[in-house]
Amino acid sequence: VARLAQPSPDGVVVDATYGRGGHTRGMIAALSARGVCHAFDMDAEAVTDGKALAAEERRFTIHHAPFSRMAATLPHLAETPSGGGGGVAAILFDLGISSPQFDEAHRGFRPEADGPLDLRFDQSRGQTAHEFLSTAPRAEITRVLRSFGETSDGAAAQRVADAIVLARQDGALPSRTKEFAALVARAKGCEYQAMHPAKLTFQALRVHLNDEFGECSRGLEAARSLLCPGGRIGVITWKHSECALVVDFFRRHEAVRDEMPQARWYQAQVTAGRAPPLQPGAALVMEATVRPSAAELQANSRSRSAVLHIMKRVEAPTVAELERRLYPLLQWPLPEGAGGHGEGAGGALGEACPAKKGHRPKGVAKEARGGGAGSGGGISKKEEREQRRARKEKKMKKAAKKAKNEKGSIVMMT
């Protein structure tokens, strides 16, 4: 963790998930006397702990807010419209639930402990798990369990949801964690993994009630807007679904690598004057993925699933921007949402670099979708949908004509 802050000891660092301040203290220790640390947390108990640290450490400020609000909370550090980067050198996320939250029975996060069926990070707002289960439709409960918990066992998600709804209809829906966990275990039956049968149900409800995945996506985008050039984002993930969110975020902003075949092909078109150069912007490179050492595992067995992803901001074209310009030249359909990815995504191929008469990439038709001279450049989502619809209609007409001809041939034979 100190590795994130060490390259810029005089700068500003952010701990997006304060918890009980373990990572925060490590980041502060890596700062010089001029360095500054901000931290965020939704948990009132964590904020109380943070205020105690702020009272003794002048370089530190705690904010009672979700980390998705970090850019709005620190507007003086955000990137300006003219670009050039923000004012933060390092930002750390530790996703999921903190050890204190998990260990405190009154928070309701553990199926083995007895406490109220709550599961909220911020207990001052939003529905408790019991309130959600008391009113949510059966289909919605099933969706939550299947999407965020029993992702590989849809039948288990459905059976647990059915048991919850039946208990609710009988006025016997448990309001305590141990009773609820027992209900889930009876519905699910044997658990093949070495864990409590209700663990994934508790996980699913927690992720849903706290909008963990949505909060993660928004928080990562907010962090990118605050990073200075050369700044780093560190994200500690604990399960595959969290890792997938980080990878998805990285892919949206991944910097073009010189060895990519797509980059080499496109550069050849630029050299030949058939395409405009890619413009640099706020891109990311994956600097490292760090797993716990043997010594750390021995000291903290809970860290066995943890992976620290470190991404660095660089000024470079993004792969998404490369694809947005490359695909029309090759007459390939743009990926979904490609128009919104990458820096300068609103630019048009035709406007940026009109094709020379008679010059086009080898094997690409003269009327390449969105890439030909005078075409106006890169195609929009609406145009792409219309083109797909037209191709589909053409295929259907061709199939109908073929079927008609085959029918006529059969009549003649008879």
Instruction: Kindly report, residue by residue over 306-318, the tens digit of the pLDDT.
Output: 999 999 999 999 9
- Gap between the Cα atoms of 276 and 321, Å rounded: 12
- pTM tops 0.95: no
- Gap between the Cα atoms of 136 and 205, Å rounded: 12
- Gap between the Cα atoms of 9 and 23, Å rounded: 16
pLDDT in tens, 196-207: 999 999 999 999
* Least confident interval from 54-68, 203-217, 288-302, 372-386: 372-386
Which H or E run includes 413?
helix 381-413
Buried b (16+ CB within 10 A) or exposed e, 186-203: ebbeeeeeeebbbbbbbb
pLDDT in tens, 376-406: 334 455 556 666 776 777 777 777 766 656 5
Tokens describing residue 390 = 């037209």
Give the chain's mean pLDDT.
Answer: 83
Buried b (16+ CB within 10 A) or exposed e, 221-256: ebbbbbbbeebbbbbbbbeebbbebbeebbebbbbb
Q: Which of helix, strand or coil describes residue 20?
A: coil
The DSSP line for 113-160 is S--BS---SSTTSS--HHHHHHHS-HHHHHHHHHHHT-TT-HHHHHHH
Which H or E run includes 319?
helix 319-329
User: Could you give the angle at the alpha carbon of 290 between the alpha carbons of 287 and 295, nearest 5°?
Assistant: 150
Helices (H), 30-67: 44-56
Which pLDDT value is given to residue 365?
A: 39
Q: Residue 343's pLDDT band (boundaries 50, 70, 90)?
A: very low
